[in-house]
Amino acid sequence: MASADVASSAPLARHVRNWELEHHQTHQNVGETERWVSLMAGGAMTIYGLSRQSLGGLVLALAGGSFVYRGATGYCGAYQALGIDTSQSRGPSDSVKAQHGVKVEESVAISRPREELFRYWRDFSNLPRIMRHLKSVETHANGRSHWVASGPMGATAEWDAEIINERENELIAWRSVEGSTVDTAGSVHFLEMPGNRGTEIRVVLKYDPPGGKLGVGIAWLFGKSASQQIREDLRNFKSMMETGTIATTEGQPRGA
Mean pLDDT score across all residues of the chain: 74
Q: Can you give the pLDDT at residue 107?
A: 95
| pLDDT one-digit tens code per residue, 116-170 | 999 999 999 999 999 988 899 999 877 799 998 886 666 777 889 999 999 999 9
Q: Of 3.30.530.20, 3.30.750.24, 3.40.50.300, 3.40.50.150, which CATH number belongs to 101-249?
A: 3.30.530.20
Q: In which band, very low, low, confident or very high, does the pLDDT at 201 lie, cut at 50, 70 and 90? A: very high
User: Which of 68-72, 171-175, 247-251 is least confident?
Assistant: 247-251
Query: Which comes out higher in pLDDT, residue 22 or 227?
Result: 227
Rounded CA separation 201/173 (Å): 13
Could you tell me where in the chain the CATH 3.30.530.20 domains are found? 101-249
Question: Which position has the higher pLDDT, 204 or 252?
Answer: 204
Q: How far is the CA of 71 from the CAs of 18, 43, 160, 209, 238, in angstroms? A: 25, 10, 27, 16, 41
pLDDT at 36: 66
- pTM of the model as a whole: 0.58
What angle separates helix 32-52 from helix 55-73, to the nearest 10 degrees?
160
**HSE of 205, CA atoms in CB hemisphere, 13 A:** 19
What tens digit of pLDDT does each residue of 9-25 get?
455 545 544 544 544 44
Say if residue 79 is exposed, middle or buried (CB neighbours under 10 Å; 0-12, 13-18, 19+): buried
